[in-house]
A and B are shown apart, each in its own frame.
Chain A
């Protein structure tokens, strides 16, 4: 038993020795190549780099990296090459292959191996082809991308070798693209080039486009035709992606508008009340988020990731309570006089703004993004930031939630009844004043939670609300009053139209055009896109 054990141990030991021995001898065979770098001028150095790269052994990569960074030195006494880093007055040396520490030396004992920009490029592509075989797929990916940028024809062979061995589909794709780029840059046959053009055309991004445009302008015959075709296809697909991007930005803007306007749509639609203080409800929601985050920072930093979820109900309650207060205190005395309501609520908005300015100061307040709100991901050629995406999702959730409340609860039923025919609803026993107060509170509360969302993408300052009030009115008036679908369609349309106009007209002019468009639209349909149908006639 003990014999068997010791025998196995011996076997293992042997295997280990042989293994390291093989690796050692491998490295030793590379050493002359590395040490050769000490000799000769740029031209020789280039050849020596090529030799090193041709070994295909990743072990030479650190030496090449150091060479590119100007950290490769040779000792004058024995022409031994070392990686040297500044340490005090001299250099700390390390072995270029094993990376073991090799002591320190004075400044005059070593000489830097000089490189120029041309050599640096050679080094980069050599490194690229070397790391193509690295065990880590991320390194291989980076290497393939480096070769794609360098377009070095010499890398074709190593790329082909790497492609044959590659197991990761994504990495192989990038390698093939890099190979195609290198092929186009080489003087290979037309057949190869046509194939390469196809590979690049399927990439469909701007890098491929610039490569192909270069090829189109420099080549002739069949290759040129193919390149032209590929350029056109890519241009077309890029235009599509541009549109997709505009639509995404438009939806993103639209969801912000929707959040800001949806509360207004309720109060305006149900009560005919123009609430100019609506923007301030949004602002208060944003400040609630700020206060919540401050409290969390000072007492329970671990909860920061959940700060928005804590802020949401609080913002709803605070803004909603202020809304109910405004309705009971001021607005209910002004029913039937919409223009006076407008002035009074404007006054309230001034008071709220100044109150917030007095309490929190006039400057912008810092509201942090939790981790899950920051960063971005790529979808095709689109870059989508998480905060924008979550706001779109959030806007849709709020919309759906509000729809549910209005359609499926008795409170919603009462609200709709009051909207359609107030006196009839009152006759049926609905307490219309109570419904008014609750509806106003609901609209204000929704504005508050919109403020939580907007605090993530906008500056939290006392003027936050003012920036949204005109836009939200435009959305509500455009969409039609008393219809939440109208608000949804209105917000999204205005958002998308705005973003499509921006590239042609610029941001400001685009916005002006949208405003003019709405002014004209109101002439055509004074009651908005989705007007409530009815036989109401004013006096």
Chain B
């Protein structure tokens, strides 16, 4: 069963993507560690870390795409799950500092000593153990997503209302984590990490290892998403996206499907956050800012919603552009990002990958039709509609397609 599950995930297109990803995972650390610094092929460590960061963003984009592209849930609060995963990892890393902090307290992190706390709050227990922290990286975002989704999907909060309350969720968490008495370092967050699993976080080898781990996590999550969306479950998800009420009338428990994919997606975002933190070396409440979550959505939109590869490509492209712009033309970056939002929604509703694959299918179909007209016995139908073509974007709603809808 497991093999068929994975087999379903790996068709030719996904295979190409996984192969490229694997090559990157092997090549980048190798070029960093094995080539001498003056070699033209040498990849400097900062670039490894930067690319590692892009990969965690790509994983976040993948998780957003899973719920938005395939289930129609536009989450403006996925940054919350990302940051929660990051905080779980940050707490583990804080406990690893031990007596090497500024105050040299063997148990309490520096900021607690600074705040005159005498003992560790209960929710910090266990974070000195790696397995516990890594488990919570999954469980905390998962549990929050479960509780939130349980209520929201059961009471049929949909569309923009859901988007707005996910935004409220991450905003509330932002405010909460800014408080010093929450015990998460307040404004400054958690930083000054030393070790991860016994390796120095600053060392080149650890950086390369973290890069490889981010790449592997991205690959595994990609395969899981691929398997989910290509299964029967995935078809139901697409049905929910395109006609929720109709799916419900057909007898599917829509809320359970939504909840399942929502929790999976939140856990993936948590993993992304946990890999992000050791690479950038800090986690602070700013990661909860609603703007971050919205930016993650635009990565998906640029790459192409409903195409898993597109989410990854979009995240990497936009963030590469961001790095370049903020260094070269810092004033222009927000103009560029804003224009990107507008242009993509107006002219590229399917994103880069979606548009390319649409063009490719159109060409192929024309060829097939021509062949059919010449007497071939193959009907000119598309292969069964793959989830890669988001239906509700192209769907010409007969009655209310291009008109404003009162929000009721």
Interface residues of A, Cβ cutoff 8 Å to B: 268-274, 330, 333-344, 346-351, 353-355, 357-358, 419-420, 422-423, 432, 436, 466, 470, 473-474, 477, 481-482, 508-509, 511-512, 515-516, 518-520, 522-524, 526-527, 531-532, 534, 536-539
In the complex, chain B residues 249-299 whose Cβ is within 8 Å of any chain A Cβ? 290-291, 294, 297-298
Give bound CA distance, A339 to B393, whole Å: 11
Is there contact, CB below 8 Å, between B168 and A508?
no
Main DSSP-derived SS at the A contact region? helix
Q: Is B401 an interface residue (CB 8 A)?
A: yes
Give bound CA distance, A280 to B246, whole Å: 39
Q: Which of A351, A422, A470, A527 contacts B167 (CB 8 A)?
A: A470
A340 with B404, Cβ < 8 A, contacts A348-B342, A515-B168 known: no
Is there contact, CB below 8 Å, between B338 and A534?
no
Q: Which of A342, A511, A519 contacts B163 (CB 8 A)?
A: A342
Q: Which of B169, B399, B401 contacts A519 (CB 8 A)?
A: B169
Most buried by B among A334, A477, A539: A539
A selection of 15 A-B contacts at a CB cut-off of 8 Å is: A269-B407, A330-B346, A337-B349, A339-B159, A344-B345, A347-B337, A347-B339, A350-B334, A350-B335, A350-B341, A420-B406, A432-B404, A511-B172, A523-B152, A523-B157
Is there contact, CB below 8 Å, between A334 and B346?
yes
Nearest residue, chain A, Cβ from B289: A466
A344 with B163, Cβ < 8 A, contacts A271-B406, A351-B335, A422-B404 known: no
Known: A269-B407, A355-B335. 13 other contacts (CB 8 A): A272-B408, A274-B164, A335-B404, A336-B404, A343-B301, A354-B334, A354-B338, A508-B176, A515-B172, A522-B155, A523-B155, A524-B155, A531-B408
A336 with B402, Cβ < 8 A, contacts A344-B346, A350-B337, A532-B408 known: yes
Give bound CA distance, A338 to B403, whole Å: 11
Give bound CA distance, A268 to B74, whole Å: 17
Q: How large is the interface on B (under 10, 10 to 19, 20 to 34, 35 or more residues)?
A: 35 or more
Is there contact, CB below 8 Å, between B331 and A358?
yes
Is there contact, CB below 8 Å, between B406 and A272?
yes
Q: Which of A342, A522, A532 contacts B406 (CB 8 A)?
A: A532
A378 to chain B, nearest CB (A): 33
Within 8 Å CB of A537, what residues of B?
A: 245
Is there contact, CB below 8 Å, between B337 and A509?
no
In the complex, chain B residues 70-110 whose Cβ is within 8 Å of any chain A Cβ? 74
Q: Is B165 an interface residue (CB 8 A)?
A: yes
Give bound CA distance, A343 to B75, whole Å: 12
B397 to chain A, nearest CB (A): 7
Is there contact, CB below 8 Å, between A539 and B243?
yes
A475 to chain B, nearest CB (A): 11
Within 8 Å CB of B243, what residues of A?
A: 539
Q: Is B364 an interface residue (CB 8 A)?
A: no
Give bound CA distance, A423 to B331, whole Å: 44
Q: Which of A269, A470, A524, A531 contacts B168 (CB 8 A)?
A: A470
Is there contact, CB below 8 Å, between A270 and B168?
no
B119 to chain A, nearest CB (A): 23
A534 with B342, Cβ < 8 A, contacts A516-B172, A523-B152 known: no
Nearest residue, chain A, Cβ from B403: A335
A340 with B176, Cβ < 8 A, contacts A335-B402, A351-B338 known: no
Q: Which of A337, A346, A522 contacts B157 (CB 8 A)?
A: A522
A526 with B406, Cβ < 8 A, contacts A346-B341, A518-B165, A538-B245 known: no
B136 to chain A, nearest CB (A): 22
Within 8 Å CB of A522, what residues of B?
A: 152, 155, 157, 161, 165
Q: Is B160 an interface residue (CB 8 A)?
A: yes
Is there contact, CB below 8 Å, between B407 and A272?
yes
A347 with B164, Cβ < 8 A, contacts A270-B406, A330-B346 known: no
Within 8 Å CB of A518, what residues of B?
A: 165, 168
In the complex, chain B residues 391-405 whose Cβ is within 8 Å of any chain A Cβ? 393, 397, 399-405
Is there contact, CB below 8 Å, between A349 and B171?
no
Q: Which of A338, A342, A539 contacts B245 (CB 8 A)?
A: A539
Q: When A and B form their complex, which 3 residue pairs have the shortest distance between CB atoms, in order from nearest?
A: A347-B341, A350-B338, A351-B338
Q: Is B244 an interface residue (CB 8 A)?
A: yes
Nearest residue, chain A, Cβ from B334: A354
Most buried by A among B158, B169, B334: B334
Nearest residue, chain A, Cβ from B150: A523
Is there contact, CB below 8 Å, between B405 and A336?
yes
Give bound CA distance, A355 to B404, whole Å: 29
Within 8 Å CB of A341, what residues of B?
A: 345
Q: Mark B349-383, 1 if CB is under 8 A from A, else 0.
A: 10000000000000000000000000000000000
Q: Which of A335, A346, A523, A539 contacts B246 (CB 8 A)?
A: A539
Within 8 Å CB of A523, what residues of B?
A: 151-152, 154-155, 157
Nearest residue, chain B, Cβ from A474: B168
Is there contact, CB below 8 Å, between B175 and A351?
no
Q: Is B193 an interface residue (CB 8 A)?
A: no
Give bound CA distance, A466 to B176, whole Å: 18
Is there contact, CB below 8 Å, between A336 and B403?
yes
A422 with B406, Cβ < 8 A, contacts A338-B159, A515-B171 known: yes
B395 to chain A, nearest CB (A): 9
A347 to chain B, nearest CB (A): 2
Q: Is B54 an interface residue (CB 8 A)?
A: no
B116 to chain A, nearest CB (A): 19
A453 to chain B, nearest CB (A): 24
Within 8 Å CB of A512, what residues of B?
A: 172, 175-176
Q: Is B340 an interface residue (CB 8 A)?
A: yes
Is there contact, CB below 8 Å, between A272 and B172?
no
Within 8 Å CB of A532, what residues of B?
A: 406, 408
Give bound CA distance, A218 to B171, whole Å: 52
Within 8 Å CB of A432, what residues of B?
A: 403-404
Is there contact, CB below 8 Å, between A509 and B179?
yes
Is there contact, CB below 8 Å, between B404 and A347?
no
B338 to chain A, nearest CB (A): 3
Give bound CA distance, A474 to B164, whole Å: 8
A75 to chain B, nearest CB (A): 60
Is there contact, CB below 8 Å, between B160 and A342?
yes
Most buried by A among B158, B298, B342: B342
Within 8 Å CB of A333, what residues of B?
A: 346
Q: Which of A272, A340, A349 contacts B405 (CB 8 A)?
A: A272
